[in-house]
Structure 1
Amino acid sequence: MDYATLTIEEIKNGYRYDEVEKAYVCNYCGRRFDEGQVFPMGDRFYVPEYAAREHIAAEHDGALKKLIEGGAKYNTFTDTQKELLGLFAQGLSDNEIAAKLGVKASTVRHQKFTFREKAKQAKYYLAVYDEVFGEGGARKADDIVDIPNTATMLDDRYVITEKERERILRSEFESMNPLRLRHYPLKAKKQVVVLSEVAKLFEFGRTYTEAETREMLGAVYGDYSMLRRYLVDYGFMGRTKDGSEYWLK
């Protein structure tokens, strides 16, 4: 899921509407609910948007839980804060939460105050950011290539301009269609660009067998096992413990 392309409401809901495909799409697994269809769930039938909501509740334990526990690099909540947010969401009073956690009610109120102040800070930051990088701003945010939400290492290797990306693609790939890698680069920044491009071969929401993954990566580069390892290490792909299945994260 690319948070940069979603509205706050779409992030909160856990699904988005794809205008081109005319479908509601789950942000977490990519399942689609096309307009003009009804979807059976349990003993009921749902129109697309309500089906998307039911799917998220049943398959992903609800959008709120995913927001609190997910978010990869964007989620800076501590374990204690995550627990508190979950209890606040249940509508419990400060005294009830304090009793559950074994702390004073004043401690709970202080944390609530901290959450509120951080929310104000975030709004202010968004206003400034939008004025500088948004439509009509002095610079465009896409001057810098987006960082993958599942990135496992956040450092200067991800500070890549669009011009740098294009230059790296030209130097590292001998062919873009079909995708064929000239050699695997040693520099971390180049690796990020290469892996980002290779990851585009895989479809979000689909699970690939080891054989399928090997065949797809082998067509890109001889040392497919190295490509596969780095795709997982950098957070572009996930895999089962036994390495029998792979998927785009």
Structure 2
Amino acid sequence: MIDSILKLSLDEIKKGYSYNPDKGIFTCLTCGKVFELGEMFSIGGRFYDASKAVQIHRQKEHEDILDTLTSFDKKYTGITENQKELLFMMYNGMSDNDIAGKTGVAPATVRRQRFAFREKAKQAKLFLAIFELVENKYSQRKEKQVEDELINIHAGAKMIDDRYLTTKSEEDKIIESLFESLEPLKLRAFSPKEKKKIVILSKIAAQFEKNRKYSEKEVNEILKAIYPDFATIRRYLIEYGYMERTKDCSEYWLK
């Protein structure tokens, strides 16, 4: 979900749904339900057009968008657990004195934190404007090659570091050297080098369907067809945050 959200405008993220003018559809960010222009949607015995229906859907079917956004890891939000708690209290209309009483700090401490939030938001807004100008200009360069682009970081990544500083060109070379074939996917060797490991795991993770639960047997069968040492691949998929599983290992799913 985080990858799709980060591609949207700030306004769409805050609303909790996006609009595609080319296709004429509204899409809920949480569940992916689509509302197409021209259709009427029955909700609670009344009919609504797509733009109103998606708003009502958000209100009735899902938690507050703030809950969704703050549920993401700190590497995406930059917010600590303590800061998250404070933001929720502010969001719920609590005064500085009320927050201070609940958290055991002085009201002045709460005011300083609110000031810090405001200044951070100002910096973030200006940085976003600056970066978008630079990024748009860069993307318009005629000589810019797709190969220069950095690979995407998967949603479950547990530590963002130099392992992910890999270009599309480097990714292609790694895939070409380490995979015997792509259809069907066959891995020649599992490299111990971190950059190569990320590329390998990303390619293998793509063989699984999103929003589907797999038994351990099903996971093993899929991985065994790709590489003989399927247990190692399965362990790294979990360790590097590509997949999650239940404590008893009865179910696996993509993050």
Q: Aligned match of 2:99 in 97, 100, 111?
A: 97
Q: Which residue of 1 aligns with 2:187?
A: 181
Q: Which residue of 1 aligns with 2:208?
A: 202
RMSD across aligned C-alpha pairs, in angstroms?
2.8
Structure 2 residues without counterparts, runs of 5 or longer:
none
- 1:10, CA displacement in angstroms? 3.6
Secondary structure of 2:128's partner?
Answer: helix
Q: Which residue of 1 aligns with 2:223?
A: 217
* Larger RCO of the pair (alpha carbons < 8 Å, separation 6+): 1
**Whose Rg is larger?**
2
Secondary structure of 2:186's partner?
Answer: strand
- In structure 2, give the amino acid aligned to 1:133: E
Q: Which residue of 2 aligns with 1:88?
A: 90
- In structure 1, give the amino acid aligned to 2:122: K
CA distance in 1, matches of 2:178, 2:215: 27
| Kept in 1: contact 2:74–2:80 (CA 8 A) | no
Any idea what the Cα deviations from partners look like across 1:8-49, whole Å, max 9, x if unmatched?
Answer: 23433444456769562444xx553454585879x9998762
Q: Which residue of 2 aligns with 1:126?
A: 128
Secondary structure of 2:233's partner?
Answer: helix
Secondary structure of 2:210's partner?
Answer: coil
- 1:140, CA displacement in angstroms? 8.3
CA distance in 2, matches of 1:20, 1:218: 40
- In structure 2, give the amino acid aligned to 1:111: Q
Distance 1:64 1:206, change over 3 A: same
TM-score normalised over the length of structure 2: 0.82
Secondary structure of 2:214's partner?
Answer: strand
- 1:221, CA displacement in angstroms? 1.4
Q: Which residue of 2 aligns with 1:7?
A: 9
- 1:96, CA displacement in angstroms? 1.6
Range moving further from structure 2, 18-27 or 213-222: 18-27
CA distance in 2, matches of 1:123, 1:100: 31
Give the 5 Å matches for 1:12-91.
12-17=14-19, 22=25, 24-27=27-30, 30-33=31-34, 35=36, 36=39, 38=41, 49=54, 50-57=56-63, 62-91=64-93
- 1:194, CA displacement in angstroms? 0.9
CA distance in 1, matches of 2:83, 2:246: 30
- 1:133, CA displacement in angstroms? 1.7
Q: Which residue of 2 aligns with 1:167?
A: 173
Give the 5 Å matches for 1:105-116.
105-116=107-118
- State percent identity of aligned pairs: 43
CA distance in 1, matches of 2:176, 2:40: 44
Secondary structure of 1:121's partner?
Answer: helix
| Kept in 2: contact 1:172–1:181 (CA 8 A) | yes
Secondary structure of 1:24's partner?
Answer: strand
| Kept in 1: contact 2:17–2:26 (CA 8 A) | no
CA distance in 1, matches of 2:40, 2:230: 41
Give the 5 Å matches for 1:148-167.
148-167=154-173
Any idea what the Cα deviations from partners look like across 1:64-99, whole Å, max 9, x if unmatched?
Answer: 122223245213222221110010110112122122
- In structure 2, give the amino acid aligned to 1:85: L
Any idea what the Cα deviations from partners look like across 1:162-202, whole Å, max 9, x if unmatched?
Answer: 11011111111111122111111111100101111111122
CA distance in 2, matches of 1:39, 1:197: 41
- 1:240, CA displacement in angstroms? 0.7
Distance 1:122 1:203, change over 3 A: same
CA distance in 2, matches of 1:52, 1:207: 25
- 1:6, CA displacement in angstroms? 2.7
